[in-house]
Structure 1
Amino acid sequence: MSRVIRYIRYDYGRGDEPREASLLLFLYDIPYFTSCGVLPSRFIINEILKVGANGGGMSPGATWEPFEITDEEFESLKKDIQAVPIDIIRASSRYADAPFIIDPSFDYLEDRATWSREVCQKYGAEWLRRVSPEIYGKMDDQALRNVVETMTNRRTDQTFQPRP
């Protein structure tokens, strides 16, 4: 059984919204959680979860009591990602654009910025075409690489601190 996470999600101008969700739904509700749709390693996930907040300012965000997940929870999470239809996840979570991509070949990277750049080099164009085919489906590969590079640089510069 997946743990239940209690958290607050917020969007500028909408106020705070207390929530409870499974680990799967919670992670899809955290802004800037993935890079180019790739599920981070357990190490990077725990670095994010130990902070207790992500996003914020005038951007959407979420806050929670800091915690870490176990190896068992991580393995269960990967199975859930593959088993639960994205439409079910999308009904409860803001950032369920597409199922997370699971690629453990990047798990050796422990620096989030480096990990983000590496996964986006591999998956950035594919991810953009999956989540916004009407915008990115007709772009050539070089134009998509430029978009991905810009997005990756912006995301890795995000500060992951609780809002004031």
Structure 2
Amino acid sequence: MNDVRYKIMPAMGAGEGPWEYAPLDEFILSIPGFVYALKFFGIIPPIHVLNEILESGCDVAGMGGGAKWKPFSLSESEYEELVENLITNPNHEIREDRRLWEKPNYEKWHMSLLGKKPRGK
């Protein structure tokens, strides 16, 4: 799994952090838009939703900061490897929910996710 070079943008008013490198699975767990889905709901987004964000090169969390990186996308095989790494990692309880795969974009996928019951509840 390739490393991703990215920069965390802290909350409003603080200077940007340094450029960092992390394996793809750790990087995904640091993107604000996916942290909520992965850590609170334990659900990995489908490839088209993930690529929508990765291709944008940034994820801004408003006044809460965000992250930026050089835009890229994942192939099917890279996505499958990422999913396997996230699902089998004993430090996380992450799964796929293919019922959400029909959502055409991040916004609709995220809204559907919010209608689900968080894990452990």
TM-score normalised to structure 1 length: 0.62
The residue that corresponds to 2:28 in the other structure is 27
Contact 1:53 1:63 in 2 (8 A): yes
Cα RMSD after superposing both structures: 1.9
Is the aligned partner of 1:76 residue 2:81? yes
Larger Rg computed on CA atoms? 1
Return the letter of the residue paired with 1:22. P
Is the aligned partner of 1:119 residue 2:78? no
Runs of 5+ consecutive residues of structure 1 not aligned to the other structure: 87-97, 131-136, 138-164
Contact 1:31 1:62 in 2 (8 A): yes
Contact 1:8 1:18 in 2 (8 A): yes
Cα distance in 2 for residues equivalent to 1:37 and 1:61: 20
Return the letter of the residue paired with 2:26. L
Per-residue Cα deviation, 1:113-147 (whole angstroms, up to 9, x for no partner): 22122222223xx33xx4xxxxxx6xxxxxxxxxx
Structure that is richer in helix per residue: 1
Contact 1:10 1:17 in 2 (8 A): no
Deviation at 1:74, TM superposition (A): 0.9
The residue that corresponds to 1:11 in the other structure is 10
Structure that is richer in strand per residue: 2
Deviation at 1:76, TM superposition (A): 0.8
Per-residue Cα deviation, 1:21-44 (whole angstroms, up to 9, x for no partner): 111000001112253442111001
* Aligned residue pairs, count: 115
Cα distance in 2 for residues equivalent to 1:111 and 1:3: 25
